[in-house]
Amino acid sequence: MLIQQTGIGNSTVEILTTLLGCIADDFTGATDLAGLLARSGVKVSLRIGVPNEPPKDTAAFEIIALKTRTWPVSDAVNECLSALNWLQKTGAEQFFWKYCSTFDSTAEGNIGPVAEALMAELNCEQTIYCPAFPENGRSIYMGNLFVEEHPLAESSMKDHPLTPMRDSNLMRLLKPQVTKPVGLVNRLAVARGGDVIKSSLDSLKKEGVAHVVVDAVADADLEAIAHACQNMPLITGGSALAMPLPYLYIKNGELSELSAQRVTPQTGNASIVLSGSCSAMTRQQVATYIQTTPSFKLDPIMIARDGVAAALGWLEDQPMDVVPILYATAEPEDVAAAQAELGLEMAGDTIEQALADIAVAACAKGIRRFLVAGGETSGAVTKALDISTLDVGDEIAPGVPWCFSNCGGNSIAIALKSGNFGKETFFADALKMLDEI
Closest distance of CB 86 from ligand ADP, Å:
24
Q: How far is the CB of 339 from ligand ADP (least distance, A)?
A: 6
Other beta carbons within 10 angstroms of residue 311's beta carbon come to 22
Residue 216 DSSP symbol: B
Supply the minimum distance, in Å, between the C-beta of residue 264 and ligand ADP. 26
Compute the least distance from the CB of residue 308 to ligand ADP, in Å: 13
Residue 233 or 348: the one with the smaller Cβ distance to ligand ADP is: 348
Provide the residue type at 244 as one letter.
P
Cβ neighbourhood burial of 79 (10 Å; 0-12, 13-18, 19+) = buried
Q: For ligand ADP, which is the closer residue by CB, 120 or 340? A: 340
SS3 388: coil
Q: 225 or 380, CB closer to ligand ADP?
A: 380
Site residues (vs ligand ADP, CB under 6 A): 28, 160-162, 276-279, 282, 300, 328, 330, 334-335, 338-339, 347-348, 351-352, 374-377, 418-419
- C-beta of 318 vs 377, nearer to ligand ADP: 377
* Cα–Cα distance for residue pair 380/151, rounded to 1 Å: 30
Radius of gyration of the chain (CA): 21
Q: Considering the complex, what minimum distance in angstroms separates the CB of residue 335 from ligand ADP?
A: 4
Report which residue type is found at 181: P
What is the rounded distance in angstroms from the CA atom of residue 423 to the CA atom of residue 397?
A: 8
Q: Which is nearer to ligand ADP, 67 or 227 (CB)?
A: 67
CA distances in angstroms from 88 to 50, 63, 111, 231, 404, listed in the order given: 12, 12, 20, 16, 25
The DSSP code for 296 is: E
- Give how far the C-alpha of residue 220 lies from the chain's centroid of Cα atoms, to the nearest Å: 22
Least spacing, CB of residue 405 vs ligand ADP, in Å: 19
DSSP 336-367: HHHHHHH-HHHHHHHHHHHHHHHHHHHHHHT-
Which residue is at the shortest CB distance from ligand ADP? 419
φ/ψ of 276, rounded to 5, equals -120, 10
DSSP state of 169: B
Return all residues near 377 (Cβ < 8 A) that are at least 6 apart.
274, 275, 276, 277, 351, 352, 355
Q: Which is nearer to ligand ADP, 189 or 330 (CB)?
A: 330
Nearest to 155 by CA among 350, 420, 387, 347: 420
Angle between helices 309-317 and 344-365 (to 10 degrees): 30
Q: Which is nearer to ligand ADP, 211 or 283 (CB)?
A: 283
Taking the complex as a whole, the smallest distance from the CB of residue 169 to ligand ADP amounts, in Å, to: 21
Least Cβ distance, residue 435 to ligand ADP (angstroms): 25
CB nearer to ligand ADP: pick between 214 and 371:
371
CB of 344 to ligand ADP, least distance (A): 8
Nearer to ligand ADP, 134 or 161 (CB): 161
Distance between CA atoms of residues 392 and 45, nearest Å: 7
